Structure 1
């Protein structure tokens, strides 16, 4: 019979391209993963990997195994979920969650105490991952639930083995010091109102920098970006100097220091946030328990 651990190892190697990266994801050494793959080859009687430069590629037989693997893992998970359901469906054990950083800050962290109080036998473990890697982790069963955001307005492609639920629409606001000229009015800002002001922004190639570029795209003059800072708390510390303004997503916004003011935008940049999990884990009491808390927090985050 085919070894399930070896099958999972092959699946991770197929997704990540090297034994070393697969070992890091699975928590093993590269040597241990190599031994699992060799065991799998002995079980099926044919090679499943071939060397390719510094990495490896799947043979045709290896690809056929990986393509059929989701059905195996889904069947095993349905067995586990059936057993948990017999035990009164109480959330227990460990729930492995992967999420982008501001999803952790704005949605997950605020509900952890409530989940712990309502589900004392459940332990939630959270790891920061960008959406593409988070989806891979859930699909490969190294995580149970992912929080994702769309990329440049386009949802992350979802593997057929996964399902998702919309949680939240995150928007960006402009933050400034109370002495800044834009702070004198509480009405929503138009893009044209931002002309001539100095900025602290997220670095290029981040979602928030893309938001910023769209926001200022039609201004008559290129805005002055004085600071490129990835951490939003640090951006706010620079805004507190009174010299710069910043575009901050609501999910990312910590409690504002005294003296800072938030102005909404008439046409704010947006991103949609989703939770994704394996279809075979649909009945998981742990996933259901966490999902029950997240919409309430998402509503709170929307109006902050």
Structure 2
């Protein structure tokens, strides 16, 4: 019989990449992790790790063990969910990771709902971008992740994770000039013009008009950056990206000060009226998908169900009447 604790260490190594990362995540000494994995090799009777430079990688037999370990852990999570469902009160801790605009626009309202309905449930929230949060979800650092997907840039769909759509978040062009707040919501005015403008090619023309202006975008390598640069290139120019940040509130401030053009999602307003001029984007490139992700073993856990319900209600509250 294999030792489950050692199997979990092997699984952690697959997800975290190095013995040092496993040791840091679990508060062990690296030598202790190495010793436990050596004992697991003895139990298995085959090599489980092979050196690659200064690192190690899992052998084919180790990958087989990890696959079975994932199945065992998923079954144990379902057992945990069944026990939680048998209780009259939700207790314990649920760990949530969220990207910035969702954290600002949706998380506070969802937390207030959960506090009122489930006062014994402790919700721990960390602001992490999806490219970091989703691997951490697989490694069991989180129970639920709020993630985003940009048009034309589908995310990888790792095995063992389950997605549920939360909302479609419109993306809009914000030119770099100060502007007075109009009497009507700029988004409503934009929506009313989109169909006619799209047929006339106005969205692409508005983009091309900003070809020589400075831009603020998210850092290189992020899905948002790839989407934004591709959008500009399709309009016929290479954007002059002078400012890089994952903080969309900084993007907004630079637009407000007339220092840069940006692409801003509607969630950045958190239900408030826009403070800058907004223009529609070309068809098929106007909306990012926002969704929640959990491990399949926790899909029916009462705490996860409660969190997902609260986020759906927060979306309705954010959209207003």
* Fold match (TM-score > 0.5): yes
Check the 8 A contact 1:101/1:129 in 2, yes or no. Answer: yes
Residues 137-190 of structure 1 show CA distances to partners (whole Å, capped at 9, x for unaligned) of 33333321122222553433333422221111122223352169xxxx954562
Superposition pairs for residues 1-304 of structure 1, below 5 Å? 1-88=1-88, 90-150=89-149, 153-175=152-174, 176-178=177-179, 186-187=189-190, 188=193, 190-197=203-210, 198-202=213-217, 203-219=219-235, 224-253=240-269, 260-265=275-280, 267=282, 269-301=286-318
Change (3 A) 1:68 1:102: same
Check the 8 A contact 2:166/2:292 in 1, yes or no. Answer: yes
Change (3 A) 1:256 1:216: farther
Gaps in structure 2 of 5+ consecutive residues: 194-201
Task: Give the match's secondary structure for 1:216.
Answer: helix
Q: Equivalents in 2 of 1:241, 1:13: separation in Å?
A: 47
Q: Displacement, 1:121?
A: 1.0
Q: Displacement, 1:10?
A: 0.7
Check the 8 A contact 1:20/1:30 in 2, yes or no. Answer: yes
Aligned-residue Cα RMSD (Å) equals 3.2
Task: Give the match's secondary structure for 1:242.
Answer: coil
Gaps in structure 1 of 5+ consecutive residues: none
Q: Equivalents in 1 of 2:38, 2:207: separation in Å?
A: 61
Change (3 A) 1:213 1:140: closer
Change (3 A) 1:204 1:71: closer
The answer to which of 115-124 and 206-215 deviates more is 206-215
Residues 50-70 of structure 1 show CA distances to partners (whole Å, capped at 9, x for unaligned) of 222111111333122112112
Q: Equivalents in 2 of 1:110, 1:251: separation in Å?
A: 13
Change (3 A) 1:193 1:81: closer
Check the 8 A contact 1:152/1:207 in 2, yes or no. Answer: no
Q: Displacement, 1:124?
A: 1.4
Q: Equivalents in 2 of 1:212, 1:204: separation in Å?
A: 11
* TM-score, normalization by structure 1: 0.83
Q: Equivalents in 2 of 1:232, 1:68: separation in Å?
A: 41
Q: Equivalents in 1 of 2:278, 2:16: separation in Å?
A: 43
Q: Equivalents in 1 of 2:24, 2:104: separation in Å?
A: 25
